[in-house]
Structure 1
Amino acid sequence: MKSVSFSLAASLVALAGLTPAQAELLTIKALSTPIALTIAETAYQTCLQQGYNVSVSVVGLEGQSLVALRGDGTAPHTIENSQRKAYTSRTFRVPSGEFADRVKDTPSAGALHLANVVAARGALPIKVGETVIGAVGVSGAPGGEKDEACAKAAIDKVADQLK
């Protein structure tokens, strides 16, 4: 019992030596509403100009919904699908298509059973440097590659603001 008391006392003394200067707040970059809106509108307009009615979702740092835009004439499922694609991309920090490729040969992968995760192309992570701060997902264009191209155009539009 004495060794437990001694270990506890030693730990408390060590912790007491920490100063407030060693305990700092985190500085975190996050998407602003204007940037998220620009991303959503650009993805939507890019696909629309190509003749595709799509829905677009932008999620933030923790996968939370920032913007959801359901395009005219889109199928009811596209808004949910765009959100799930974006969430998947943000959560795994890769394009949703890359995630789909990873799990293609292992359909029993545990990640596929998580809420809001989908193995489908059409979303890209939004980064500041190498740090993922959100994602944009697009759904409604034929094939995920076209969805993804619209997402890329949107990120490219705000690239100078992602620093």
Structure 2
Amino acid sequence: MLGKSLTIVSVALGGVIVLASSATAELSTQKVLSTPTALAIAQTAYETCTGQGYKVSVTVVGLEGQILAALRGDGASPHTLENSQRKAYTARTFRIPSGEFAQRVKDNPTSGQVNLSGVIAIQGGLPIKLGDAVIGAVGVSGAPGGEKDEACAKAALDKIADQLK
């Protein structure tokens, strides 16, 4: 009987040791988009579009879709700030350009993803990648056409591309 009790205690203690070792597991590390980089992206996208005569708003979101930088340009329509944020959020959420997401919705309108809060199926948002990892996104709204919004976002990402390697 004593041998059986020691076996049960040993098994129970072994379980405690396993639980204790998993409680001290390593924390994950993630690369995040810094505020200065987010500001540089927003400013460059804004300047690119305004240089072409477009009145736009720009939003940069981080790893978790949170707003890191937002600019509502002089004379930009009231809806552009919200649209830029939603384009950026969409690009971050799905890890693809918001225009590609718009095409997916067009190809499969019953998918339901377009009904998610904060998501929009309009071109103008691009994911920000560090290698293969998506660490944020930029969205632009207000130029006459999503392709022009996207071009301004791309110009901003091209300018800081050396920081994303």
Tell me whether the two structures share a fold, i.e. TM-score over 0.5.
Answer: yes
- The answer as to 2:26 corresponding to 1:24 is yes
Q: Which runs of 5+ in 2 are unaligned?
A: 1-7
Q: Distance in 2 between matches of 1:11 and 1:99?
A: 50
SS in 1 for 2:27: coil
Structure 2 vs 1, CA of residues 11 and 107 (structure 1 numbering), >3 Å: closer, same or farther? farther
> CA RMSD of the aligned region, Å?
2.2
**Which structure 2 residues correspond to residues 65-80 of structure 1 after superposition, within 5 A?**
65-80=67-82
Residue of structure 2 equivalent to 1:143? 145
User: Counterpart amino acid of 1:99?
Assistant: F
Q: Distance in 2 between matches of 1:137 and 1:71?
A: 13
Tell me how far 1:11 sits from its aligned partner.
8.6
SS in 1 for 2:33: coil
Question: What stretches of structure 1 move > 6 A for 4+ residues in a row?
Answer: none
Q: Which runs of 5+ in 1 are unaligned?
A: none
User: Counterpart amino acid of 2:21?
Assistant: L
Q: Distance in 1 between matches of 2:30 and 2:14?
A: 31
CA displacement 1:3-57 (0-9 Å, x = unmatched): xx9xx95993673473677x21111111111000000000000001111111000
Larger radius of gyration: 2
Q: Distance in 2 between matches of 1:53 and 1:106?
A: 32
Tell me how far 1:109 sits from its aligned partner.
2.0
Structure 2 vs 1, CA of residues 18 and 152 (structure 1 numbering), >3 Å: closer, same or farther? same
Aligned positions, number? 157
User: Counterpart amino acid of 2:92?
Assistant: R
Q: Distance in 1 between matches of 2:13 and 2:105?
A: 48
Q: Distance in 2 between matches of 1:121 and 1:40?
A: 17
Q: Distance in 1 between matches of 2:20 and 2:27?
A: 18
TM-score, normalised via structure 1 length:
0.88
**Which structure 2 residues correspond to residues 4-23 of structure 1 after superposition, within 5 A?**
12=15, 15-16=18-19, 18=21, 23=25
Which deviates the most, 146-155 or 12-21?
Answer: 12-21
Residue of structure 2 equivalent to 1:117? 119
Q: Distance in 2 between matches of 1:35 and 1:148?
A: 18
